[in-house]
Copies of this chain bind each other. A is one copy, B any other.
Amino acid sequence: MKIIPGGVCAAQGFSASGVHCGIRKNRSKKDLALIYSKVPAAAAAVYTTNLVKGAPLTVTRQHLENGVAQAVICNSGNANTCNANGIEVAETICDLLSGEIGVAAEDVIVSSTGVIGQPLSLEPFQAGIPELVKSLSEDGSDAAAEAILTTDLVKKEIAVEFEIDGKVCHIGGIAKGSGMIHPNMATMLVFITSDVAISAPMLKAALQSDVQNTFNMLSIDGDTSTNDMVSVLANGLAGNAEITREGQDFSAFMKALNTVTVHLCRSIAGDGEGATKLLECRVSGADTLETAKTVAKSVVCSSLLKAAMFGADANWGRVLCAIGYSGAELDVSKVKVEFVSPAGEILVCENGSGVDFSEEKAKKILLEKEIEIRVSVGSGAFSASAWGCDLSYDYVKINGDYRT
Contacts and interface: CB of A to CB of B under 8 A. Distances in A.
Given A52-B332, A223-B302, A324-B50, A317 B353 contact: no
B400 A82 contact: no
A325 B223 contact: yes
Interface string A46-79: 0011111100000000000000000000000000
A325 B226 CA distance: 8
A303 interface: yes
Interface stretch (A29-37, A101-109, A243-251, A390-398): A390-398
Interface string A134-169: 000000000000000000000000000000000000
Interface stretch (A14-22, A115-123, A257-265, A380-388): A115-123
Contacts of A301: 222
Contact of A318 (B183, B309, B316, B328): B183
Interface in A305-332: 307-313, 315-318, 320-326, 328-330, 332
B325 A224 contact: yes
Interface of A: 48-53, 81-84, 115-118, 183-184, 186, 221-226, 301-304, 307-313, 315-318, 320-326, 328-330, 332, 349, 352-354, 359, 363, 390-393, 395-404
25 contacts: A48-B325, A50-B324, A52-B320, A52-B324, A53-B324, A82-B349, A82-B353, A83-B354, A116-B317, A117-B317, A183-B317, A184-B315, A186-B304, A223-B302, A223-B303, A223-B321, A224-B321, A224-B324, A225-B321, A226-B320, A307-B398, A307-B399, A311-B404, A313-B402, A392-B400
